[in-house]
Amino acid sequence: MSAPVTTRFAPSPTGLLHVGNLRTALFNALIARKAGGTFILRLDDTDPARSTEAFADAIREDLRWLGLTWDREERQSARLDRYAEAADRLRAASRLYECFETPSELEVKRRKQLAMGRPPVYDRASLGLSEEEKAEKRAAGNQGYWRFRLDQERIEWEDGILGAITIDAGSVSDPVLIRADGQVLYTLASVVDDIEMGVTSVVRGSDHVTNTATQIQIMQALGGTPPSFAHHSLLTGAGGEALSKRLGTLSLRDLRARGVEPAALLSLMARLGSSQPVELRADLEALAEGFSLEQFGAAPTRFDPEDLFPLTRAHLQAQPWEVVRDRVLALGVPENLGPQFWAVMRDNITVMDDLTPWWALCRDGAAPEVAPEDAEFVAEALALLPPQPWGAGAWAEWTGAVKAATGRKGKGLFLPLRKALTGRGDGPDMAALMPLLQAPPQGL
């Protein structure tokens, strides 16, 4: 009997989540949701100097905003004893060895290897140190750090996206698992967690392929069974350029501030880079139903934040009053006008913030926009404007009276009157908008 599907998202609380993080989180969440399995939020907070509770809170807030709820939360900082025990087991099996080279010494070795046309792989010089030599280095003030001794053989797995992968462990440096200051690094902590938490499926970016190879050997050395692995393509900018994590427009927090709706972001990320077209889906269940890793390719995937806004627009236009009620009333729209206001305005916005100027127009009126050649016509028309409040037939009544008095018709009639009432030449149908106007044009 196969183990229940368990996936995890393991961000470091050292910064805000960005769209690349979201792709990993979403893929793992959808796999778990589709299989009725478990999705774990695992905070990789073993670096006390950079991890903060503020960023941990921000991660939770962003995921909740998107509806990416997790079944349980784990913190690596609470599991340091488990990593220490695993390290002891690896030492006892002669798979973990102490090293003493400084960063500058390692850089010199790296340059020499490159100059000789060799791959810059750690030469295992510390592996041959005697206990006396190690003691001398410690006495001289050198702090030891710990590397995992790879079996220098080919490491193979069937990747859920990339297909058959094979990596020669001899071409990879023995990974550092514990720093000189005692900090356990991700490579060890992740392996221990995946074993003990029963993780069955790991999806992450293709920049982790080499890490996966080394982690498979570490997991096997600890007696664990490697999960299935899949490595999604990395995102690039709209022009194919590398994305920078420093670009604020790519953080989830900033996309949210720009008015992007969760459904739009999730719908795009669930299909971007796949063979399937992007389709707007309102919830995770609908996204999970059609989700399959087999649909995704290995090529870098272009992401343009502007693609989120047509999806946001379409999502909002489909929302009934009951769904947006609180957000509309928060603008100050009276509840008795709310349903009518939303019905008229939702086809004229891209993001919810676009409602703000429309409500200001309805509440306060607008400065008329009158072309010089229309000044006399508008003055005559405004004299025929019926008194407020304006009902459903006010626009037809007024324009009919103005047409009869002036002889104008078509665009020459309707556009100057629209601009006189609203100060703009576009917007909802005036027959629907006019009853919402609570004040006459400013200055009249």
Q: What is the pTM of this model?
A: 0.91
The string of pLDDT tens digits covering residues 4-24 is 999 999 999 999 999 999 999
The string of pLDDT tens digits covering residues 278-310 is 999 988 999 999 899 999 999 999 999 999 999
Q: Is 182 exposed, middle or buried (0-12, 13-18, 19+ CB in 10 A)?
A: exposed
Residue 240's pLDDT is 82
Q: Which of 35-39, 113-117, 119-123 has the highest mean pLDDT?
A: 35-39
Asked if 194 and 201 touch (Cβ cutoff 8 Å), the reply is no
Q: Is pLDDT at 2 greater than 80 in this prediction?
A: no
Paired with 168 in beta bridges are 154
The string of pLDDT tens digits covering residues 307-360 is 999 999 999 999 999 999 999 999 999 999 999 999 999 999 999 999 999 999
Computed on alpha carbons and rounded to an integer, the radius of gyration of the chain in Å comes to 31
Confidence tier at 242 by pLDDT (50, 70, 90): confident
- Would you list the domain boundaries of the chain? 82-178, 365-436
CA distances from 160 to 33, 390, 406 (A): 17, 62, 72
Residue 282's pLDDT is 82
Confidence tier at 443 by pLDDT (50, 70, 90): low
Asked: is 82-178 a CATH 3.90.800.10 domain? The reply is yes
- Summarize the confidence of residues 184-202 as an average pLDDT: 97
Confidence tier at 1 by pLDDT (50, 70, 90): low
Backbone φ and ψ for 145, nearest 5 degrees, come out as -120, 170
Contacts of 339 (CB under 8 A, 6+ apart): 321
Instruction: Please provide the size of the chain in residues.
Output: 444
77-110: buried (b, 16+ CB within 10 Å) or exposed (e) per residue? bebeebbeebbeebeeeebbbbbbbeeeeeeeeb
Q: Which of 71-80, 154-163, 276-285 is the least confident region?
A: 276-285
CA dist 434 and 444 (Å) reads 16
CA dist 131 and 61 (Å) reads 50
**Cα–Cα nearest to 159, from 296, 351, 330, 45:** 296
Confidence tier at 41 by pLDDT (50, 70, 90): very high
CA dist 212 and 202 (Å) reads 10
Q: Is pLDDT at 246 greater than 50 in this prediction?
A: no
Query: What is the overall mean pLDDT for the chain?
Result: 94
Q: Could you tell me whether strands 301-302 and 235-236 are parallel, antiparallel, or unpaired per DSSP bridges?
A: parallel
Cis peptide bond prior to 48, omega within 30° of 0:
no
Determine the residue type at 182: G
In three-state secondary structure terms, 49 is coil
Q: Could you tell me whether strands 145-148 and 301-302 are parallel, antiparallel, or unpaired per DSSP bridges?
A: unpaired
Q: Is 117 exposed, middle or buried (0-12, 13-18, 19+ CB in 10 A)?
A: exposed
Asked if 250 and 181 touch (Cβ cutoff 8 Å), the reply is no
